[in-house]
Amino acid sequence: MAYHYEQPLSLYAPVVNGKQVLQVFQDRNKRGYEDCTVIKIDGKNAMAQVMKRANLLFNSKDPNVRLNEALASLVYGPETGTFVVYPGQFAGRELLPDNPSMRYELKCANSKKPVFVEDKWIISPQSPWEFTDTASYVKNVCLPQQTPPLPYATSAGSLPKRDLTSFKRHEIASDLNKQTIIVDRLAQAAAPPVPSPLTLPVYPEAIKIGAGNCTVFHQLKDRPTVGILTLFVTTLDFSEIDFMYQSLETLYQRGVTDIIIDVVGGNGGYANVAPDFVHLFFPSKDPLDKVIRLNFRSTPAVQELSAKVYNSTDGGWSQIGNMISIHGGIFYDSSRFFDLANNHTYTNNSLYADTVTHTRNGRKAVYTKTTAYKPATQPNRPNLAKYPWTNNPSRIRILTDGRCLSGCGHVIFLIANQYGVKSYGVGGTKGEPLSKYQYVAGAGSQLKMFNGIFAFANMTSPIKDLPYQSVLSATVGEIVAPGSKVPLEFDSDKYPTDFRLDFDPVNARSREALWTQVAEDAWN
């Protein structure tokens, strides 16, 4: 994974005249291929080629969510402050492609004959695993990192399980938006059709109210009673919660009565921030109604570790919002979790010391008793009571393409599955259900983080570091929905959206058009 590989053509699957087709979403080489229909790729059926790639992704049990991840889409780019193109995991990859180029057969509106295009992969080096020759390859890729494992830089719940591209989709989209396009000579030699400008309906621009570190707020111009909260990552802290509250107040002052929560292309983040997010919309719920129960895996080595790191809160990051500190004992510090039996945070190490055995997915393993991240501890916000959408599911809608994961998945699970907010799923395969989110890992840890906690406790980890540059991750805490025996990480396909929308050449390129569709259907 030392390089990122991308094709100049990114693809999508809009529904045109009632039929779903594979088309070019964007041509980075600016040859006018947008919305040409893709007939074949490397001599084989184009959609079958895309589905083959999508089925190699491990982000969801839902094949339609995997299709959305494989194809191009718009995601919010915090660096640019706009929605930018993410090429998807068919056109953009972290792993070495099978061939140095792809050959496309296109059917374009202004060409009677098929158009053949062959594009080489655009290759971009990734830091810190860059290499230029054999010696630097061995040093930077084959040999283990020589840097100390601290700080344990990862988010609680963002569990990389596939190509890293999807976990960096916002950053990659922003970077690609700024890159200088290198036009491939072979692609230039192809005879492109005369491009015809897309004639798309003009939707009034949404008014941008403000953007924080994890959220951005808009108001529809043509439907000013509708506000949009786009949640593009879930590393919320107290300052972001304050920003969200202030933005909701601004929307209220501007006459907004209905809210769309947009998580299309939403990344993961801190899994334990859902209570703080949900509190802004359902403050009447008891704090314990706004947490998700989970169990942590426990072993003798982990039990010994947890005894040494109990109450190791560093007083820094752990005090920001509801996030877990990236220093100290992290998941293995019992003082950071809620003792549901005694209705307070743990005052000793009994979370890991007092274990139970569960059989999940056919496997028996030792776990802690059921616990939860600490409930929301927000200050009293009396203005919440006056908002039309507060404690009112009929005034809130969710817009998702199923790729919302981890902390984002926690938010959607609570407000949709437990509080009754209706959801709209967009994309995937026409006429088929779509999951609300892809997976909800209770807690994920990378090997370097895991071993770093043992080093923090002056203990020897039972697991050795990898002998080469790579990332190894695992689930250490599992969330199970009420009444289920299957962890939510493997259960997301059991929770489809309430309504379905198709991408088309308009709404795929205009978030305002997509928001308007939801608003018109929900609040006519």
The whole-number mean pLDDT for each consecutive block of 10 residues of the chain, a chain of 524 residues, reads 87 97 96 96 97 91 94 91 93 91 96 95 78 81 55 35 43 46 28 38 78 94 96 80 94 98 87 82 84 90 94 55 62 89 90 91 90 79 94 97 89 91 98 90 83 91 85 85 80 88 96 96 95
Residue whose entry in the numeric block shows the structure tokens 């507060």? 390
Q: Which residues pair with 120 in a beta bridge?
A: 101
pLDDT the model gives residue 73? 95
Residue 468: count other Cβ atoms within 10 Å of its Cβ: 11
C-alpha span between 421 and 403 (Å, rounded): 18
Q: What's the pLDDT at 128?
A: 64
- Distance (Å, whole) CA 339 – CA 332: 14
Q: Are 228 and 389 in contact (CB under 8 A)?
A: no
At residue 518, φ and ψ (nearest 5 deg) are -65, -45
Structure tokens at 54: 């999508």
What Cα–Cα distance (Å) separates residue 127 from each residue in 124, 130, 180, 485?
10, 6, 18, 41
Rg (CA), the chain: 24
Residue 57 dihedral angles phi and psi, to the nearest 5°: -80, 150
The strand ranges marked E within 376-514 are 396-400, 422-426, 443-446, 473-479, 499-501
Instruction: Return the SS3 of 357.
Output: strand
The identity of residue 471, as a single letter, is: V
431: how many CB neighbours lie within 10 A of its CB? 9
The candidate with the shortest Cα–Cα distance to 521, out of 507, 495, 501, 497, is 501
Give the H or E element holding residue 303.
helix 300-309
Q: Let me know the angle formed at the C-alpha of 232 by 229 and 238, rounded to the nearest 5 degrees.
A: 75
β-bridge partners, 40? 45, 105
Distance, in Å, from the CA atom of 234 to the CA atom of 316, rounded to the nearest integer, reads 19
Phi-psi region of 145 (alpha: psi -120 to 50; beta: other; left: phi over 0): beta
How is residue 47 annotated by DSSP?
H
Separation in Å, CA 202 to CA 43, 375, 385, 518:
37, 44, 36, 17
Beta-carbon contacts of residue 394 (< 8 Å; ≥ 6 apart)? none
Strand partners, 217: 210, 229
Structure pTM? 0.86
For residue 180, give the 3-state DSSP assignment: coil
- As a whole number of angstroms, the distance between CA 442 and CA 410 comes to 9
Retrieve residue 192's tokens.
């492109």
Directed axis angle between helix 63-70 and helix 46-54, to 10°? 110
Residue 476 near residue 156 (C-beta atoms within 8 A): no
Rounded to an integer, what distance in angstroms lies between the CA atom of residue 201 and that of residue 32? 20
Q: Are strands 92-93 and 82-86 parallel, antiparallel or unpaired?
A: unpaired
